[in-house]
Chain A
Amino acid sequence: MKREGLFKAYAVGGGIAAMYYFEPILTYDLDIFFIPSKEGIDLLSPLYAYLKEKGYPSEKEHVVIEGIPVQLIPVYNGLVEEAVKNARESEYKGVKIPILTAEYLIAISLQTYRPKDRERLVKFLEEARIDGFELGKILKSHGLEEKFGKFKERYRDG
């Protein structure tokens, strides 16, 4: 899809990306964040149309690709766009795939801060290897340092 010019860049995010850094958790969706090739209001229709042509119709907010529900999410702010641009190259069954880094996933979880994001933050703190310097830089540039400090305090207090 990148070759076809449908988007500039993409990376795996969400639960699957988080699971790259901590223990396996039950999830069903594969979230793909992408940087659109063109600006516009309807960023998803061209992708859905392309995938439908390939035999992968959309079902509500997903496209089922080879039996896996995939959610395509256009980057919706500067942090997410930066995260996609700085994704790490990984490999699955010999196929190269970009995955959001643990540090950006933490920052995004702090920003969205739903109950499942807070659960993920705890798992990141307990299980993942984090580059503290890199994380500090990201949090500072997106105004999330204080929120992270408060979260850590609450986490330590149980």
Chain B
Amino acid sequence: MADDVGKIFRNKADRRQSLAALPFEEKIRILVRLQRIAQEIKKDRRRPVWPIDTS
């Protein structure tokens, strides 16, 4: 069990490292997608989705 949990945490850390290594433009696309998701959950005019094409 502890080994499994350890493996999950290691995989999560690896995933974060691979996201950290993405090109900056790709990170901005992900950021805008995150903003859209947040906006769908809770509309907040003070927290606009950046008008950047993510396609």
Contact = CB atoms under 8 A, between A and B. Distances in A.
Interface in A57-111: 64, 66-69, 90-93
Contacts of B30: 24
Given A92-B25, A93-B25, A23 B31 contact: no
B28 interface: yes
Contact of A67 (B16, B34, B50): B50
A43 interface: no
Q: Is the interface of B mostly helix, strand, loop or mixed?
A: helix
Interface residues of A, number: 22
Interface residues of B, number: 20
The 6 closest A-B pairs by CB, nearest first: A23-B19, A67-B51, A24-B30, A127-B20, A24-B27, A22-B20
A126 B50 CA distance: 28
Contacts of A93: 25
A26 B34 contact: yes
A129 B19 CA distance: 13
A141 interface: no
B50 A21 contact: no
Contacts of A67: 48, 50-51
Given A24-B27, A127-B17, 11 more contacts: A22-B16, A24-B19, A24-B28, A25-B31, A26-B31, A26-B35, A28-B47, A64-B48, A66-B51, A92-B28, A126-B13
B21 to A, nearest CB: 9
A68 B31 CA distance: 13
A112 interface: no
Nearest to B37: A26
6 contacts: A21-B20, A24-B19, A67-B48, A91-B24, A126-B17, A128-B20
B38 interface: yes
